[in-house]
Structure 1
Amino acid sequence: MTLKLIYPALAQVFWTFVVLVIVFLRRKKAFDNREVGMADVAVSTERYPEPARLAAANFSNQFETPVLFFALVLIAIHVGATGYVMAALAWAFVATRIVHTLIHTGSNDLRQRALVYAVGVACLFLMWIGIVIAIL
């Protein structure tokens, strides 16, 4: 049943929108507090305060490993590798992206962030292995 993989994919898309709202709110706060002006950020976003830059960096991160996630979900659906293990791995990946965002836009503890990132990449690799096994 492919729905098991559609739900985590939709959750990841939703999370990307959540992160975009965080970026917007932090940038708006920077303008409201007069920490930056339009001319300050017209060419480069480096002048935004750190919380806004961290949120923007995390938004960019939503287009890195999640690209592999979406490709793997589509391939898994195509080849019928849609069992409970694959669904659990997909949900685990989404969970790592959420935790990664919370760390990145919060404490920004690089050790914690790297560990969560590595777990997410491991989920992707295991999804890939599941697909390879399904097509052999």
Structure 2
Amino acid sequence: MSTNLIPPVLTLVIWSLIMLIWMATLRMPALARLKIPPHQARGGRGQDLDRVLPREINWPAHNYAHLMEQPTIFYATVLALAVLGQGSPLNVGLAWAYVALRVVHSIWQATVNTIPVRAGLFFLSSLLLLVLAANGLLGALNA
């Protein structure tokens, strides 16, 4: 077991929860200002707020949703690498780089949110994840 791969995983978990708090601290006051009658505030989904709140208020929520998507593959990949004992400096560095890119992606999406930069950050982090997964597969096949 390579425990040196666990800190990047837990860092991304904590970052995801920070984004949840960021989302709530923007959305809750914005919703309160709308003074929506209680009978209209029932049910619905988070993305329904895209129609009633300003775009910038929803950006952290969009990012939080993104952090519940691809990073789940990161968690599985890195935990598999840890179980396989594949905590090489390369894999640890790739894991930390992935986390750093996801944090930068979050900050960018929640504040500036221009698509070309955001897409570049996403694709670069995806490439790192692909390399991590390939390293994991090779490690598993050679185990």
> What TM-score does the superposition give when structure 1 sets the normalisation length?
0.90
Q: What RMSD in Å do the two structures reach over aligned CA positions?
A: 1.7
Rounded Cα–Cα distance in structure 1 between residues aligned with 2:37 and 2:115: 31
Percent sequence identity over aligned pairs = 25
* Match of residue 95 from structure 2: 90
Change (3 A) 1:130 1:38: farther
The structure-2 alpha-carbon separation of the partners of 1:51 and 1:58, relative to structure 1 and needing over 3 Å to count, comes to same
Q: CA deviation at 1:38?
A: 5.7
Judging changes above 3 Å, is the alpha-carbon distance between structure 1 residues 38 and 123 closer, same or farther for their aligned structure 2 residues?
Answer: farther
C-alpha contact 2:16 2:67 (8 A) present in aligned 1:
yes
- Which structure would you say has the larger RCO, counting Cα contacts within 8 Å and 6 or more residues apart? 2
Please list the CA deviations of residues 11-70 of structure 1 after superposition, one character each: whole Å capped at 9, or x if unmatched.
0000001000110111123135x2463656543323122122111111100111101100
Q: Which runs of 4+ in 1 moved over 6 A?
A: none
SS of the aligned residue for 1:12 comes to: helix
Aligned residues: 135
Aligned to 2:27: 27
In the alignment, structure 2 segments of 5+ residues that lack a partner are none
Match of 2:66 among 58, 61, 65: 61
User: Which structure 2 residues correspond to residues 1-136 of structure 1 after superposition, within 5 A?
Assistant: 2-32=2-32, 34-35=33-34, 37=36, 42=42, 43=44, 44-46=48-50, 47-135=52-140, 136=142
Q: TM-score, normalised by structure 2?
A: 0.86
